[in-house]
Amino acid sequence: NAGVTQTPKFRILKIGQSMTLQCAQDMNHNYMYWYRQDPGMGLKLIYYSVGAGITDKGEVPNGYNVSRSTTEDFPLRLELAAPSQTSVYFCASRSLLGLGGNTIYFGEGSWLTVV
Amino acid sequence: EDQVTQSPEALRLQEGESSSLNCSYTVSGLRGLFWYRQDPGKGPEFLFTLYSAGEEKEKERLKATLTKKESFLHITAPKPEDSATYLCAGDDFGNEKLTFGTGTRLTIIP
């Protein structure tokens, strides 16, 4: 039962560098999300996708980009990393198979530090 | 704008001391109210989805209830392994995004 898999688990970036956080799910879910979680601030939505080829901005999209070429994968790209992007990033996927199937599953997180 | 507020921010209980966590929500068209458990260094773990006022769900020592404005997570005779941060989130029919509260950090003292 892989569920939602995120890589890498930990990463240190220098200011101005770029990187991609990978997310894959094996549950054939249409909906996928990227959140960031800062201490005491709760989960903030960065980007989300309702299916392959469709993405949209969440609350805090600046400095990030996403793509969704397949149902399984939803990578998050950080361009020109800044210290404000130091955070824990969570990918999630959801099935909406009627009311009984509204469940969202999270990955284990990616810890990113920008120095 | 959808809002979800959790209280208290932190709660310390003795082992066996029952209590409740509160989640107040303002969601225009509630499709579901979620509860998650999050351990340090881990992703949120799904506990319950509640869909309509009056609904209740149970899992071991946890019971979640829903009214038109609030949800409660009742913890009966908790054990130290119940220590975690508990998150709630509102799901709105009008959009595809969840609104999360900031969580309640629960500590159970042996």
The pLDDT tens digits of the residues spanning B8-42 come to 999 999 999 999 999 999 988 888 899 999 999 89
Instruction: Report chain B residues touching chain A, CB-CB < 8 A.
Output: 31-32, 34, 36, 41-46, 49, 51, 87, 89, 91, 96-98, 100-103
Looking at CA atoms only, how far is residue B18 from chain A in angstroms? 25
Residues of chain A found within 8 Å of residue B41, distances taken between Cβ atoms = 109
Residues forming a β-bridge with A34: A47, A91
- Token digits of residue A109: 């997180």
**Amino acid identity, position B39:** D
- The answer to whether the CB of A35 falls within 8 A of the CB of A48 is no
Residue of A17, A4, A2, A35 whose CA lies nearest to A78: A17
Nearest CA in chain B to A109: B43
Contact (Cβ atoms closer than 8 angstroms) between residue A20 and residue A76: yes
**CA of A87, closest CA in chain B: separation in Å?**
12
Residues A25-74: tens digit of each pLDDT: 998 898 999 999 998 778 999 999 999 999 999 999 999 999 999 999 99
Q: Mark yes or no for CB contact B97/A48 under 8 Å.
A: yes
* Under 8 Å between Cβ of B7 and B87: no
**Among chain A residues, CA nearest to B92:** A102
Residue of B34, B42, B87 lying closest to A108 (CB–CB): B42
Residue B93, number of CB atoms within 10 A of its CB = 11
A40 contacts B46? CB cut-off 8 A: no
Query: With contact defined as beta carbons under 8 Å apart, do A20 and A78 qualify?
Result: yes
Task: Calculate the average pLDDT of chain A.
Answer: 92
Which of A30, A104, A110 to mutate against chain B (most B CBs within 10 Å)? A104
How far apart are the C-alpha atoms of A106 and B101, rounded to whole Å? 16
Is pLDDT of B70 > 80?
Answer: yes
Contacts of residue A42, Cβ cutoff 8 Å, sequence gap at least 6: B87, B100, B101, B102, B103
Is the distance from CB of A83 to CB of A114 less than 8 angstroms? Answer: yes
* DSSP code for A103: E
- Does the pLDDT value for residue A98 go beyond 80? no
- The DSSP call for residue B109 is E
Mean pLDDT (chain B, rounded)? 93
A10 to chain B: closest CA residue? B41
Give percent above pLDDT 90 in chain A: 80
Residue A14's pLDDT is what?
97
Which 8-state DSSP code applies to residue B81? G
3-class DSSP state for residue A101?
helix
Q: What is the pLDDT of residue A2?
A: 67
Counted across chains A and B, CB pairs separated by less than 8 A come out at 50
> CB distance B97–A58 less than 8 Å?
yes
In A, what residues contact B, Cβ < 8 A? 4, 31, 33, 35, 40-43, 45, 48, 50, 56, 58, 90, 99, 102-109
Q: Tell whether the model's pLDDT for residue B86 goes beyond 90.
A: yes
